[in-house]
């Protein structure tokens, strides 16, 4: 019994735990049977590259199939991957800072920009509004966080730009 890429992904593309098809568990069971059969039927040498990959997969099977047993478990770690990608890009860019203070400022901006993106705020607009309302920001910084600064703008006397 062989599993092809279309058998695993096929019509049951899993987008989230709430929308996963009922047969995802069956597909994972079929994959487990196929993986163990590779060693049982001596189709794969355990010390080969494929054999080591299969052993690794079987060793971590419980964690791999957690999404089938745990409601709310993410099916992927794309959010973490994206966050790490930004940090790695920043690390590469930070090689060109001339001073230690410049590196600290770069770290601060990277953190602010990423937080804005996670909150759904436009980083450029957010940083612009911080500049425009520097006095208000110094007086009450908690009202000027990326997730709540839009609610503070009408109270400050200047509305949100429409462009």
Q: What is the pLDDT along the chain (163 residues), one digit of tens a residue?
A: 444 333 333 334 344 444 555 577 888 999 999 999 999 999 999 999 999 999 999 999 998 888 888 887 777 788 888 878 888 888 888 888 899 899 889 889 988 998 998 899 999 999 999 999 999 999 999 999 999 999 988 877 655 554 4
Asked if residue 128 and residue 105 are part of one domain, the reply reads yes
- Where in the sequence is the domain holding 64, given as residue range(s)? 5-69
Asked if residue 105 and residue 62 are part of one domain, the reply reads no
Residue that finishes a domain, picked among 42, 69, 96: 69
pLDDT, position 125: 95
Asked if residue 151 and residue 82 are part of one domain, the reply reads yes
pLDDT, position 57: 95
Contact 153, 144 (CB under 8 A): no
Asked if the structure places residue 163 within a domain, the reply is: no
Is 0.95 surpassed by the pTM of this model?
A: no
Contact 78, 59 (CB under 8 A): no
Number of domains present in the structure of the chain: 2
Distance CA 3, CA 30 (A): 8
Contact 137, 151 (CB under 8 A): no
Contact 147, 119 (CB under 8 A): yes
Length of the chain, in residues? 163
Distance CA 122, CA 160 (A): 12
pLDDT, position 21: 52
Residue that finishes a domain, picked among 48, 69, 90: 69
């Amino acid at each position: 019994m062989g599993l092809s890429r279309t058998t695993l992904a096929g019509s049951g593309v899993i987008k989230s735990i709430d929308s996963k098809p009922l047969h995802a568990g069956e597909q994972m069971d079929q994959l487990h049977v196929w993986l163990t059969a590779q060693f049982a039927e001596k189709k794969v040498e355990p010390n080969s590259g494929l054999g080591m990959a299969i052993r690794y997969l079987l060793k971590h099977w419980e964690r791999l199939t957690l999404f089938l047993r745990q409601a709310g478990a993410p099916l992927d770690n794309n959010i973490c991957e994206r966050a790490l990608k930004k940090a790695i890009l920043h690390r590469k860019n930070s090689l060109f800072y001339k001073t230690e203070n410049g590196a600290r400022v770069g770290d601060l901006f990277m953190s602010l920009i990423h937080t804005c993106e996670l909150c759904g705020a436009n980083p450029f607009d957010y940083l612009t509004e911080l500049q425009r309302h520097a006095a208000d920001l110094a007086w009450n910084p908690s009202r000027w966080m990326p997730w709540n600064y839009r609610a503070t703008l009408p109270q400050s006397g200047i509305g949100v730009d429409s462009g």
